[in-house]
A and B are shown apart, each in its own frame.
Chain A
Amino acid sequence: MHSKTSAEHLAYLRQLKRRQLIIRLSQGLLLIGIFALWELAARLGWINAFVFSQPTRVWNAAVRLARQGELWKHLGWTVGETVIGFTAGTLLGIIIAIILWWSDFVSRVLDPYIVVLESIPKVALGPIFVVWLGTNMTAVIAMAVAVSVIVTVMMMHTGFKEVDPNKIKLARTFGATKLQILTKVIIPASVPTMIAALKVSVGLSLVGTIVGEFLASKAGLGYLIIYGGQVFNMSLVMASILLLAIVSVILYYFVSKLEERVVRGRDY
């Protein structure tokens, strides 16, 4: 048992902690170093600040956006479209996966089509959505759903099929109906798969949203990036990309938190 902590063990723990600290420090320094080098290169004229921008200009661009109240609007659009897109994509994906699980016949018939849908780059569908749905939020959300839904379908369907057949047999010995097998075995057994699918699809939905905004939007970070590029405001482009990075980290963080909550108590 871990009764008394010996001096050696304390030393070991201290060493682990120090190593962790050094890793974190290095990560921070790397980031600061890149920005410092970028700033320095622009100031000393090694790179053309008009083309490459520079951290101080990026910062100013971001502050200007915030002062105008534009920052929150664009952030809100992108986050909103992504969250709606990925919620809808996940729900739709799970429903389709359930249908495929329910009917082996349907699943076999659709199999080649799903493989094709999986392999084509979904962003190629963008112009179709714009024509069908117009240059508005619906087209952007459709794009986010299109990019994320097939992965969810495939991951969930595979997860459903991998549930231990003996767990299903057990339910059948009690006379379980197919619906009961679904609700009492398949779905709860697939919760970890669902979380894994969420983690993938949250990132993909963000890709879909940004591409959608490139093509069909008057707001959002994707729109800002395209707009900035068109008017040759590279500081605006860079600021938007940095904001995008922050958004994606925050979204991923929320899914991880969800995972902790759901998987708590049971070990796999």
Chain B
Amino acid sequence: MALVELRNVGLKYHTLEGEITALENVNLRVEEEEFVSIVGQSGCGKSTLLSLISGLLKPTTGEVLIGGEPVQGPSPKVGYMLQQDYLYEWRTILDNALLGLEIRRMKTPERVQEVKQMLQDYGLGGFESYYPNQLSGGMRQRVALIRTLAVQPNVLLLDEPFSALDYQNRLAVGEEVVRILRERRKTVIMVTHDISEAISMANRVIVLTPRPGTIKSEHRIRMCDEGLTPLQTREHPEFRRYFTAIWKELNVNA
């Protein structure tokens, strides 16, 4: 059974100007421990898709299942990383990392200890009582990841999580995030418009059509299946081939 399943999912929303169909007939199955990237042009409903899986939005048609159960609202099984870290500037690093536990009323001394351990493990030891503005972009992104992982979700949704970082940091943080997520055997669905990023991290890349977004094609990425890291994948001879194929598909739509 797939961990995440979308069945004929469609979403319409209404504005004064009329009705907009953001997504149509999306069928997707994501297996446990799989890393799936979704690419598409801006405005094709990529982020909307994540909002549907996270339960922030309800589909107009079809259904979203997680672990075989229909999604009713934001569930602790799903962690969502937004485009920027959105750390709260009035909270210390530790308190930011504990936000999810606090909101979910899961803040026990053991879990706090785990979060502290994660901060320690991921190079943020000694920064617990700092404020976000004292940290670099890469460090802040790691805090955001720990905040997401703290509630122990099975599925992680990443919405262009590296777009706020400069290119150099993007590669480094991406490498690290993938390592952490593989270590913890998480299932990941990442949305991006960066084809290289999509290929370098995922087992599967899914291409969406422009609005109304629907699945155009799927590409199995061999390198990730073989356990290569994102940077190793980028250097792999086959990387170009995948890139060209996906780039052409996105371009045909334009």
Contacts and interface: CB of A to CB of B under 8 A. Distances in A.
Interface in A153-184: 164, 166-167, 169-176, 180, 184
Contacts of B75: 175
Contact of B100 (A174, A188, A191, A268): A174
Nearest to B131: A266
A104 interface: no
Contacts of B82: 166, 169-170, 173
A169 B56 contact: yes
B103 to A, nearest CB: 4
Interface in B168-197: none
B90 interface: yes
B129 to A, nearest CB: 9
Interface string B65-106: 000000001111001101110101111000000011011100
A185 interface: yes
A265 B100 CA distance: 23
Interface residues of A, number: 21
Nearest to A171: B103
Contacts of B80: 173
A188 B89 CA distance: 9
Q: Which residue among B74, B89, B90, B104 has the maximum number of chain A CB atoms within 10 Å of its CB? A: B90
Contacts of A65: none
A174 B99 CA distance: 9
A8 interface: no
A140 B79 CA distance: 54
Residue of B54, B79, B86, B91 with most partner-chain A CB within 10 A: B86
Given A173-B54, A266-B133, A180 B103 contact: yes
Contacts of B133: 266-267
B151 interface: yes
Interface in A123-172: 164, 166-167, 169-172
Select the residue from B76, B86, B103, B131 with max chain A CB neighbours within 10 A: B103
Contacts of A164: 86
A188 to B, nearest CB: 5
A266 B89 contact: yes
B88 A167 contact: yes
A266 B103 contact: no
Nearest to A262: B90
Contacts of A265: 131
A18 to B, nearest CB: 34
A176 B90 contact: no
Nearest to B92: A265
Nearest to B73: A175
Contacts of B103: 171, 174-176, 180, 184
Interface of A: 164, 166-167, 169-176, 180, 184-185, 188-189, 191, 265-268
23 contacts: A166-B84, A167-B88, A169-B82, A170-B82, A172-B56, A172-B74, A173-B56, A174-B99, A174-B103, A174-B104, A175-B75, A175-B103, A184-B102, A184-B103, A185-B88, A188-B90, A189-B90, A191-B90, A265-B131, A266-B90, A266-B131, A266-B133, A267-B131
